Amino acid sequence: MLNKEENPRVVIQGEFLVSADPNDVLTTLLGSCVSAFLRDPVARIGGLNHFLLPEGDPNDRHAMKYGLNAMELLINALVKKGAQRHRLEGKLFGGGRIVPGLTDVGAANGVFAVEFLRKEGIRHVGGSLGGDQGRKLRVWPVSGQVQQMLLPATEIKEVLMPPKPRQDIVLF
């Protein structure tokens, strides 16, 4: 439950936020996308990103939608604010298979994120990847606390793929 002082900041696809404010709460909604929550527990600073695809063209003007860019930008922002790279720990969320029958981009996102942490020497200390449900996350960047609410597949599909507008309007 949110305190009156807490005002969640939303991280959408292709974005990240970093904070050292103990009152900050970061939130996001995930389907096949993945969010990495990285923090330095000693410096008491953390951040959350949200990426759509594991890899892609780094020259794309929307490059933050790719995991590699999203992870590097989040790490760099944490270090600029005082985190030490060797102390970073990470929790990974998302990567669901929301639409059966299509390419399982969620699994690819999850594999990328786990492998990225391993290659970079960042301790993977938890999270929730895969499955067939969406997730709503709330993270407290300073304390490291995370709340996850699993969403029924039908609910996340409505958010990610809203129904077409009805065409019962008559123009005269």
Summarize pLDDT for 135-165 with one digit per residue, the tens: 999 999 999 999 999 998 666 555 555 555 5
Summarize pLDDT for 44-86 with one digit per residue, the tens: 999 999 999 988 776 766 666 889 999 999 999 999 999 999 9
Query: Whole domain around residue 84: which residue ranges?
Result: 9-156
Domain harbouring 119, CATH code: 3.30.1330.200
Tally of domains within the chain: 1
Is residue 134 situated within a structural domain? Answer: yes
Is residue 102 situated within a structural domain? Answer: yes
Binning pLDDT at 50, 70 and 90, where does residue 101 land? confident
Cα separation, 169 vs 159, in Å, equals 24
Summarize pLDDT for 22-36 with one digit per residue, the tens: 999 999 999 999 999
Number of other CB atoms surrounding residue 90 within 10 Å: 23
Predicted pLDDT of residue 1: 46
Is residue 168 situated within a structural domain? Answer: no
Is residue 111 situated within a structural domain? Answer: yes
Is residue 22 situated within a structural domain? Answer: yes
**Beta strand ranges found along 130-169 (DSSP E):** 134-139, 146-151
Is residue 162 situated within a structural domain? Answer: no
Starting at the edge strand found earlier in the chain, the sheet holding 9-10 runs 9-10, 26-30, 134-139, 146-151
